[in-house]
Amino acid sequence: MEQSSLYDDVPLRRAVLARALPRVLQDKIGLDTILSRLPQAYALSIFSSYIASRYVYSYGIESSPIDFHYFLQNLSAEAEA
């Protein structure tokens, strides 16, 4: 997950991090400020763990690569909305 190019998709990255980071903190200082202060390694770790955990909770550990493709399509669609 961390070695894929998913993190390079800026709208997807922002959408995932907006869901993964605490809402109270975002309301207090804003997502852009958080992202500017957060080391990239931490942001990548949060991004990866959020996607991985949501995928496993949604599809289980016995799912197929096609399920992951559909999962990413849904995430991308939500990011564009």
The confidence score (pLDDT) of residue 81 equals 63
pTM for the whole structure: 0.84
Q: Which residues contact 16 (CB under 8 A, 6 or more apart)?
A: 47, 50, 51, 75, 79
**What pLDDT score does 29 carry?**
97
Q: How far apart are CA 16 and CA 61, in angstroms?
A: 21
| Per-residue pLDDT tens digits of the chain, which is 81 residues long | 667 888 998 988 999 999 999 999 999 999 999 999 999 999 999 999 999 999 999 899 888 989 998 998 888 787 666
Q: Say what the pLDDT of residue 41 is.
A: 94
For the chain, the structural domain boundaries read 6-80
pLDDT number for residue 2: 65
